[in-house]
Amino acid sequence: MGHLIPFFHLSKHLAQRGHKISFISTPRNIQRLPKIPQSLSPFINLVPLPFPHIPNLPPHAESSIDTSFSKQQLLKLAFDKLQPTITSFLESSKLDWIIYDFASHWLPSTAAELGIHRCFFGLFNAAVLCLIGPPTVLIGGSDPRRTVDDFLRAPEWIPFKSDIVFRSYEITRFIQHSTEYSSATPDTVRMGATVRDSEVVAVRTCIEFEPEWFGLLRDLYQKPLVPVGFLPPCMEDDEDGNDMKWVSIKEWLHEQRVDSVVYVAIGTEAVLSQEEVNELALGLEKSGLNFFWVLRDPPEPTQKAIDMLPNGFLQRVEGRGIVCTDWAPQVKILSHDSVGGFLTHCGWNSVIEGLAFGRVLMLFPMFNDQGPNARLLQGKGLGIEVARKEDGMFTSDAVAELLRFAMVDDLGSSLRASAKEAKKLLSNRETNQRCIDEFIQYLVEQKKKG
């Protein structure tokens, strides 16, 4: 969902300006989308394409939320089998532009053959895209990074000092969970080919937030680069406000003091180990703070997240802490005045949602872009990372100390102030609309050129 929702937000912005959109996805993913505002329904056509089934992928799995991280590559392999179906749709449609993610690395060349303009929508920030590398390195096999240690320092194409790097446990965790199954095409090649074969790259950021990284990315990609802004959450378009699940959550939040609740969520892909659940739970308990924790069930049907909690934990935190093992309306929760902080896995989508509401970020990255995101945010004074050991493990005391520092301690006041200040940029209507308008202007002008 972390990749699906930004595309949906961008579609709505384009539709609001009178452009007709065909939103292509799979049936189950389309069902998960928020409702299209009635005023925009004439402009957005949802196109569900049946998702191919392949061996070892769970039945009905169409998104990362449906399966374990170790099987993520199988989703991409299945998606590759959609190429003939998508090509057929493109051939029968009158499209000016197609906007896509990096997984569909074959789509730009297919669109070019059909005379359709091509835009890669990069859902990472500019700093992370720079860290990933230029297409020449990603495709040509010239990436000098061969060992875990190579990823612990900035690569040679970053010309200035930077601590936006990976930690050893992040790389190790990624390798452990991504080598069981293969999609035949590595993510690096998918990314490189997608960038290489696109006419323009749109990035979910704004120049004011990371000017040096945006400039470097333009140099690395050697092609037009357009910021589309942050696409912050829009409450009026969010899920039904009368949803009974939200009503019960809202009632509890209403009972809490302003800025007193820590919202805890580590995304849909990461699954905590028993030891991690135990230490995180005890850390929340020791902090003495109110919290709302979204704890996802492990992918194995024999395990339940609620059973992984320490004995007596729920009884001891009753009244001040809630553990939710089901889906939760994250945007609505973060928007509530009682929520002051967000313990997050640092997925870029979640980071934007947290900062757009001025919530102080407590950084708990797991893998992929999350670690570099955490270093970017900490470097800007917009969050503080959980202290970890060399293997990535942490203690309940470290969690409790971090929570109290970020939420209530006097020494953390500047962190809380910075989060409120960041809200002015990330949720700034004028800045975000300017980015969208300039993006659309670029698309229109290029279409006129043919």
- What is the CA 107 to chain-centroid distance, rounded? 22
Cβ proximity of 221 and 135 under 8 Å: yes
User: Quick one: tokens of 77?
Assistant: 């392999």
Quick one: pLDDT at residue 359?
Answer: 98
Whole-angstrom Cα distance, residue 352 to residue 419?
Answer: 11
**Per-residue pLDDT tens digits for 301-342:** 678 999 999 999 999 999 999 999 988 999 999 999 999 999
Q: How far is CA 349 from CA 50, 124, 233, 373, in A?
A: 26, 9, 10, 11
pTM comes to 0.94
Q: List the beta bridge partners of residue 260.
A: none
Whole-angstrom Cα distance, residue 70 to residue 319?
Answer: 36
Find, among 176, 201, 186, 144, the residue nearest to 70 by Cα: 176
Whole-angstrom Cα distance, residue 182 to residue 107?
Answer: 20
At 82, the amino acid letter reads: L
User: Quick one: tokens of 422?
Assistant: 């960041």
Ranges of residues in the chain with a pLDDT under 50 are none
Q: Can you give the three-state secondary structure of the chain, one letter per residue? A: CCCHHHHHHHHHHHHHCCCCEEEEECHHHHHHCCCCCHHHCCCEEEEECCCCCCCCCCCCCCCHHHCCHHHHHHHHHHHHCCHHHHHHHHHHCCCCEEEECCCCCCHHHHHHHCCCEEEEEECCCHHHHHHHCCHHHHHHCCCCCCCHHHHHCCCCCCCCCCCCCCCHHHHHHHHHHHCCCCCCCCHHHHHHHHHHCCCEEEECCCCCCCHHHHHHHHHHHCCCEEECCCCCCCHHHCCCCCCHHHHHHHHHHHCCCCCCEEEEECCCCCCCCHHHHHHHHHHHHHHCCEEEEECCCCCCCCCCHHHHCCCCHHHHCCCCEEEECCCCCHHHHHHCCCEEEEEECCCHHHHHHHHHCCCEEEECCCCCCHHHHHHHHHHCCCEEECCCCCCCCCCHHHHHHHHHHHHCCHHHHHHHHHHHHHHHHHCCHHHHHHHHHHHHHHHHHHHHHC
Quick one: pLDDT at residue 245?
Answer: 86
Cβ proximity of 108 and 223 under 8 Å: no
Domain map of the chain by residue range?
4-232+428-449, 241-426
List the CATH code of the domain at 4-232+428-449.
3.40.50.2000
CATH superfamily of 241-426: Glycogen Phosphorylase B; (3.40.50.2000)
Quick one: pLDDT at residue 236?
Answer: 57
Cβ proximity of 163 and 379 under 8 Å: yes
- Residues 372-396, buried b or exposed e (16+ Cβ, 10 A)? bbbbbbbeeebbbbbebeeebebeb
Phi/psi at 374 (nearest 5 deg)?
Answer: -60, -45
Using alpha carbons only, give the angle 86, 196, 100 rounded to the nearest 5 degrees. 35
Identical fold, 4-232+428-449 and 241-426:
yes
Find, among 117, 113, 111, 112, the residue nearest to 97 by Cα: 117
